[in-house]
Amino acid sequence: MNILRASASDLGRAIESGALDPVDVAEAFLEAIDEHPFSARIYTEVLRDRACSEALAARDRAKRGMRLGPLDGVPISWKDLFDSRGSATEAGSDLLAGRIPDRDAEVLYRASQGGAICLGKVHMSELAFSGLGLNPIKETPPCINDHDAVSGGSSSGSAASVAFGLAPLSIGSDTGGSVRIPAAWNDLVGLKTTSGRVSLQGVVPLCARFDTVGPLARSVEDAAYALSLIEGTRPMKLGKRSKLGIKLAVLGTSVLDGLEDRPKKAFEAAVERIKNAGIEVHVIKAPEVAKALDLSPVLFAPEAYGTWKEVIERAPEKMYPEILERFRGGASVSAAEYVSAWHRLDQLRDQYAARVSEFDAVLCPTAPILPPNAKRLLEDHDYYVSKNLLALRNTRVGNLMGGCSITLPTGYASCGLSLMGAPMHEERLLVLAHTIEGLFA
């Protein structure tokens, strides 16, 4: 087994059988991080002592037949907005330089209680407010398919750490696409959980009403185990559904507009393969989606700026200007406009839920564009703004509609297929995704 390329689930099974020692697994990843030319662009800090200590404890449990779960002894990287006791958590921003929490975020604590090994913290978009992953303040992780391109944000380092073989699994966050975009652009599985399902205690916030926590992984099985791990629940049994009886919808509103050639071909090929497998697929129009997308400027930036205004305005010169401008864009929205927009969004969510209730999931391309060139993003303001908005457009539908979503690799480089499910139905979505994943193997 190639430890650096194995799935988290396969590593866990090898540890369970005695074929692998958790210490050897941890050391393999630590050595790979030390030697990789991009490691400094991916990891903010490698928590070597913690990883080695946790690996030794996992070895002892494995020897005594007392493993805590399927990912006991498996290393995980963590986006740098999850508090980690005694080590810096700066959320990709110099505004939080030197911030060292004295306790783990609840999801990190639960993962450690489940036996996972904390490898370290990985880079991200500044304060998580970009879908591109460009961060000239700290570091910009590369895309696995184009090292001159961004890896997607804001969980940029999470995706890069898994894609480049520097972690088998990573935990990120998703407010408007920040798990799914980097997962798609790096040919990974990415799960956006329902808002309110996974604890945000000890997670540096962006927009608390939209913020969610989720895994970036090599397989749906890994994502399912990771969800159980960070929730502290019993691992779900991930079976496959009969393809007969599955009913899917292709969203025909907004998300298919202006697709670049490869994402368009990837999506069409994926839908065709699903149909050829005998799965029922319908194209639907959902005008409430377009109306919800139009509300985005009144919902995201005002909450983000309201959350960070005092910190930002004490030292705005410490921020990347593009991110600063995006935060400040929320300053002009009145409280009445913000509250009214949320009332309207709640109505649109109800309409959308009724429209899609007969379907097991709604399909769309995860991102309408390929990863943009990092150098051009730095040099061309209009290019940056347009690419950031396009990158987030499709994934944001899942956040606005309030459900859970997952992106799967399609076999086309940097092109993902999104499946959007109902709120709090992650288990059903994961089983469905596991079934569909098999069509692309």
**Quick one: 411 exposed, middle or buried, by C-beta within 10 A (0-12, 13-18, 19+)?**
middle
Q: From CA 306, how far away is CA 21, in angstroms rounded?
A: 48
> Residues 219, 7: contact at Cβ < 8 Å?
yes
**Placement of tokens 């370290």 in the chain:** 120
**Quick one: 65 exposed, middle or buried, by C-beta within 10 A (0-12, 13-18, 19+)?**
exposed
Question: Quick one: CA torsion of 382, 300, 321, 158, rounded to 10 degrees?
Answer: -90
Q: Which of 93, 112, 173, 178 is catalytic?
A: 178
> Residues 2, 211: contact at Cβ < 8 Å?
no
Residue 84 a catalytic site member: no
Q: Would you tell me how many other CB atoms lie within 10 Å of the CB of residue 240? A: 12
Residue 178 a catalytic site member: yes
Q: From CA 178, how far away is CA 252, in angstroms rounded?
A: 23
Q: Which of 154, 156, 405, 414 is catalytic?
A: 154
Q: From CA 263, how far away is CA 139, in angstroms rounded?
A: 27
Q: Which of 7, 9, 79, 192 is catalytic?
A: 79
**Quick one: 28 exposed, middle or buried, by C-beta within 10 A (0-12, 13-18, 19+)?**
middle
Residue 17 a catalytic site member: no
Which residues form the catalytic set? 79, 154, 178
